[in-house]
Structure 1
């Protein structure tokens, strides 16, 4: 599947995806054409899904992050699908995760301040369909966030 050269490319690419192919090839000690072909192959095979900008939402005035855990009303056959569709429509929802177990869905939500969060919670979150229970967890600090894989 992946050899040492592919892993080296991925390590450097994850560390700095803004590198040009020539710069990446130089750091990996391979020819630019080889680097380009291997990147193309990893993209075509689905190993590299995308490049994206990471925006610091706190720098844009969002000071509150809350993790909301939902248990859904499982007596409703479309509870999960309806809930997910409605949650996707809330712009302040950054992430939606589904689980097996007591918690069905977790939303990561941002707000500008506590008053904004209260409005969002009352007007958008509580109106999501098929909620049986909600648990709110206020984020205090992000201790570790690393999207890079150990390749």
Structure 2
């Protein structure tokens, strides 16, 4: 897969403002609308662009707490990962699931309306997930950098 400087310019502007109309994006990237459209279609075909998403600010919906939960699983069970991930996907407050190689096997990011809600979800839904050998909870305090921009 090869992208050139024109693709990079288009991507930089698209990352900065994902909802730009193609004509405006083309103008800012210094290409015609037709060229911009073809480049975007090519980038989609290459899998570089995977659609346009919507970002929801869960804090504005009343969720004040974010916690990162790190799990080490009991890997003596043959389906430990599969069982754990299947159950974790069913917890509505879990907004992200990641797997790792190393000391930590899985990380879940979850949100809660307040501390009482967090404690209720933690006790009734998180601690009941299968095959947990160890768990560490990290309370989110501040976001210092949250960027999708790449050095293009």
TM-score by structure 2 length? 0.97
TM alignment of 1:111-150, pairs within 5 A: 111-150=112-151
In structure 1, C-alpha distance between the alignment counterparts of 2:128 and 2:24, rounded to whole Å: 50
Structure 1 unaligned runs (5+)? none
| Structure-2 residue corresponding to 1:99 | 100
Partner deviation per Cα, 1:78-100 (whole Å, 9 max, x = no partner): 00011011111111111111111
Instruction: Report whether the alignment pairs 1:64 with 2:60.
Output: no
Q: Over aligned residue pairs, what C-alpha RMSD do you find?
A: 0.7
What's the secondary structure of 1:90's corresponding residue? coil
In structure 2, C-alpha distance between the alignment counterparts of 1:64 and 1:120, rounded to whole Å: 12
Partner deviation per Cα, 1:58-110 (whole Å, 9 max, x = no partner): 11100000000000001000000110111111111111111111110000010
What's the secondary structure of 2:31's corresponding residue? coil
Structure 2 unaligned runs (5+)? none
In structure 1, C-alpha distance between the alignment counterparts of 2:91 and 2:148, rounded to whole Å: 24
Partner deviation per Cα, 1:43-68 (whole Å, 9 max, x = no partner): 01101012111111111100000000
Deviation at 1:147, TM superposition (A): 1.5
TM-score by structure 1 length? 0.98
Deviation at 1:19, TM superposition (A): 0.7
